[in-house]
Each structure stands twice: as C-alpha cells, then as structure tokens.
Amino acid sequence: MSRCLADRAIDHVVLERGEVAHTWRTERWDSLRLLTPNWQSRLPGFGYTGPDPDGYRTLPEVVDFIAAYAQAISAPVRTHTTVTSVSRTETGYLVRTDQGDWSCRTAVIASGAFNIACVPGVADRVPRPVTTFSTQQYRNPDQLPVGGVLVVGASSSGTQIANEIHRSGRPVTLSVGEHIRAPRVYRGKDLEWWMDAAGVLDERYDKVDDIARARQVPSLQLAGTADRSTLDLNALTAIGVKLVGRLAGITESGKAQFGGSLRNMCALSDLKMNRLLTLIDEWAQANGLDGVVEPPHRLPPTEVEEAPPLGLDLANGEIRTIIWATGYRPDYSWLELPVFDRKGMIRHDGGVVSSQGLYLMGVPFARRRKSTLIDGAGDDARDLSDHLASYLHGEVLRTT
C-alpha cells in the first residue's frame, strides 16, 4: 500500500509496533517455510530473482525479503510505534500511538488477520501438568517435555507442527476438524502454480456465492519442504501420528472428548480436493496443456481407522503437551469506530470500510481469494489506493 500511495504522490506514513516484518520475526515457529513458492511472493515492482524460483522461503529469508522491499521503496515506516486508538474526527481520523498522535483524512488498516491465536474455551480444563502452546508460542520441539503431544487442528500449521514433533520422538495424536487436503505437486507442477494460472487465487469477493463462508475456509493443508512432498493425513499416519476427531470438550476430570465424524471430515476433505483437481484438469484441457504436462491422477483416499478413539485421558501423564493449532483472529481492540459485525470483524465491501476514508487489507478474501497471501497484497493495494485517491480528490465513489 505504501508503494501504491507513493506512486500516486499521496503523503503517508506506515506505523509498525515492532520492526518491519514483525510477525515473521516474533510469531512463527523456527522451521516454518512459506507454503507459497519463491516466485509467488510478488510485490509491486519487486519479486524473486534468485536461482530457486520453485523453492520455499525459510523464516529468515521471509524477513530479509520484506525488509529489503521496505528499503527498496523507501517506505516511510515508523518502527516501534504502537497504534493505541483510532477514532473519527470532523475531517478524518485521530490516530493515537505510544509515540504521539497523528491526524489524517484517510487510514488503511493493515494490522494483519492473525494477531491472536484462537484457543478453544475448553482450554481452561486442561489438567495442570500438561503444558500448552498456541502456534504463536511454539518454536521447536526442544521447548516440549518428553512424552506424548496432542495437536489440535489439522490445517497448514497443525499438520506441519505435528510432523515436526512426531519426528522429534514424541508420539503425536492429531485432533482433526474441518480441513482441506491438497497435493504439493500435481501433474508435475506446484499446486500454487495451478491455482495462480487457472485464476483460482484471483477470484473476486463479489463473484463467489457465499462470501461469508469463503472468508472462513481453513488454510490448505500445504507445507513448503525442500523435497516438495505432500504433507497430508496419510503422510502423517505413515510415520505413526494417531488421528482422532474434532475436539468437542474436556471433562472436569480431564478427559478430552472427540467428535465421531473423523471419517466424514476426511471424506469431505478428499471431495473438496478432488473438486479443485477437476477444475484444474478442465482448465489444463481448455488451455492446451494436456499432453504437455503429466496426465491427471487422483490421490488415494485418506485412511482412517475403523473406530478412532472418542476420548483421551489428559490426566494420566501420557499426554504432556497440547498445541492449539486452531486458527487465529485479528486484534482490533484499538479501533474505536462503529464498524464491527456481530462476530467482531470489520464490515467492509472489498476492503472499503463503511466509515468514509477507511480501508482494510490482508484479511481473508478481502478482495480476492489471495488477499491474505503476500502475493495478494499488490492487487488489493492497487485497487484500494485508487479508491483512496478518488476519495481524497472528492470524486463520487463506487465501492468496487
């Protein structure tokens, strides 16, 4: 957004509570690699130029990439400046920070969608000897005591962390709720390549049937590994990870209870994956790629044991750690404006917030399916900075 505002000669400042790329420096586990290939992190006027476009950036590489971009575009960033409140004034907004106040006619909220780990309410009932970590607190298996681990959540973060912990010698049980299975490589090409080429990631918020639902879809079960392997539930059971259903509750005596729909969850996930692969096959055929790339194929169904356990005693010492990989939500505690819906999310139309001159970026499906990806920021920023510039020039505005 800063780059797009500069292109339009709009005077602006970027306020950041930490260093540039703060979340990547402080809120991710050590071994994380981007699940998007190197070529895919395209920012306005800046992209990957190294020798491994199909590789996946390590955490330090992501930090370097974003910091290099801020430098390359001379972004006017004020680091170590925490926004403590934003409120309406007659002419725009008053932004209070721990380093002084700003007034502005327009403001862009780009504070991220993943500020707070969503830990289920039943976490209060976890027996005392069991240590718990959210995905933001987890760094590596050395933090964990020896012994069994329950990982709750089987999307991108949960499957990667379950894999790493199990390989460290701690037996892992993985509690599986709604998730979307995805092959890393399909017909010889990265799944992200297909989704990019076929326009899946460019799908617009005003063209999907149920945008409220689309904004809640969990992340694809993808991982960026050096060998480009698929990390699905079959890969995890193959190394000995035990699957159980969705965590439904924890009794007062410390017994975890799991839903009985694990098989259905997995069948649904297989179905969604196959729907995506069919869409890709149709696009490949229509665009003359049949015969050029590998032929279509399907993955074997997810294997689930006949009667997965419905309970697990958390008090008998077998489980020593629980990892909550149950998603994230944004933190808008500093936003003092009547712009929230019943769930505490900001009401907006493709990033244009109902309060005039206020914009929102980086939240799920803000304008496009890729809106929460690094790669999605550029297109959204171009559109929203156009809108913002028109607003400043007093033009009549449409939301799209």
Ligand X SMILES: Cc1cc2nc3c(=O)[nH]c(=O)nc-3n(C[C@H](O)[C@H](O)[C@H](O)COP(=O)(O)OP(=O)(O)OC[C@H]3O[C@@H](n4cnc5c(N)ncnc54)[C@H](O)[C@@H]3O)c2cc1C
Contact pattern from residue 235 through residue 274 relative to ligand X, giving x for each residue in contact according to CB under 6 A and a dash for the rest = ----------------------------------------
Q: Is 373 in the site for ligand X (CB under 6 A)?
A: yes
Task: Output 17 or 263, the one with its CB closest to ligand X.
Answer: 17
Question: Residues touching ligand X: how many (CB under 6 A)?
Answer: 26
Residue 244 near residue 175, CB atoms below 8 Å: yes
| Beta carbons within 10 angstroms of residue 50's beta carbon | 10
Window of 29-37, 71-79, 229-237, 309-317 that interacts with ligand X by CB under 6 A: 29-37
Distance, in Å, from the CA atom of 174 to the CA atom of 236, rounded to the nearest integer, reads 9
Residue 21 near residue 75, CB atoms below 8 Å: no
Distance, in Å, from the CA atom of 31 to the CA atom of 61, rounded to the nearest integer, reads 12
Q: Is 157 in the site for ligand X (CB under 6 A)?
A: yes
Q: How far is the CB of 323 from ligand X (least distance, A)?
A: 13
**From the list 2, 4, 5, 16, which residue makes contact with ligand X (rule: CB under 6 A)?**
16
**From the list 372, 384, 385, 388, which residue makes contact with ligand X (rule: CB under 6 A)?**
372
- Tokens representing 230 are 């698929």
Contact pattern from residue 320 through residue 359 relative to ligand X, giving x for each residue in contact according to CB under 6 A and a dash for the rest = --------x-----x-------------------------
Distance, in Å, from the CA atom of 332 to the CA atom of 86, rounded to the nearest integer, reads 10
Pairing of strands 255-258, 247-250: antiparallel
- Tokens representing 373 are 């990806």
Distance, in Å, from the CA atom of 186 to the CA atom of 294, rounded to the nearest integer, reads 8
Give CA angle at 230 (229, 234), nearest 5°. Answer: 125
DSSP code of residue 295: P
Distance, in Å, from the CA atom of 94 to the CA atom of 81, rounded to the nearest integer, reads 15
**From the list 39, 93, 114, 133, which residue makes contact with ligand X (rule: CB under 6 A)?**
114
Residues 77-106 that bind ligand X (CB under 6 A): 82-83
Window of 254-262, 269-277, 289-297, 370-378 that interacts with ligand X by CB under 6 A: 370-378
Alpha-carbon distance values, 261 to 175, 178, 275, 281 (Å): 11, 10, 21, 30
Q: Is 231 in the site for ligand X (CB under 6 A)?
A: no
Q: Is 58 in the site for ligand X (CB under 6 A)?
A: no
Q: Is 110 in the site for ligand X (CB under 6 A)?
A: yes
Q: Is 35 in the site for ligand X (CB under 6 A)?
A: yes
Q: Is 374 in the site for ligand X (CB under 6 A)?
A: yes
- Tokens representing 271 are 């179905």
| DSSP codes joined into one string, 141-154 | GGGSPSSEEEEE--
Task: Output 15 or 322, the one with its CB closest to ligand X.
Answer: 15
Distance, in Å, from the CA atom of 240 to the CA atom of 27, rounded to the nearest integer, reads 28
Window of 15-23, 247-255, 336-344, 389-397 that interacts with ligand X by CB under 6 A: 15-23
**From the list 36, 163, 221, 321, which residue makes contact with ligand X (rule: CB under 6 A)?**
36
Q: How far is the CB of 361 from ligand X (least distance, A)?
A: 6
DSSP code of residue 161: H
Tracing tokens 């050590």 back to the chain, one arrives at 30
Window of 9-17, 162-170, 307-315, 384-392 that interacts with ligand X by CB under 6 A: 9-17
Q: Is 361 in the site for ligand X (CB under 6 A)?
A: yes
Q: How far is the CB of 146 from ligand X (least distance, A)?
A: 26
Give the type of residue at 40.
Answer: Q
Where on the chain is the footprint of ligand X (CB under 6 A)?
Answer: 15-18, 22-23, 28, 34-36, 82-83, 110-114, 157, 328, 334, 361-362, 372-375
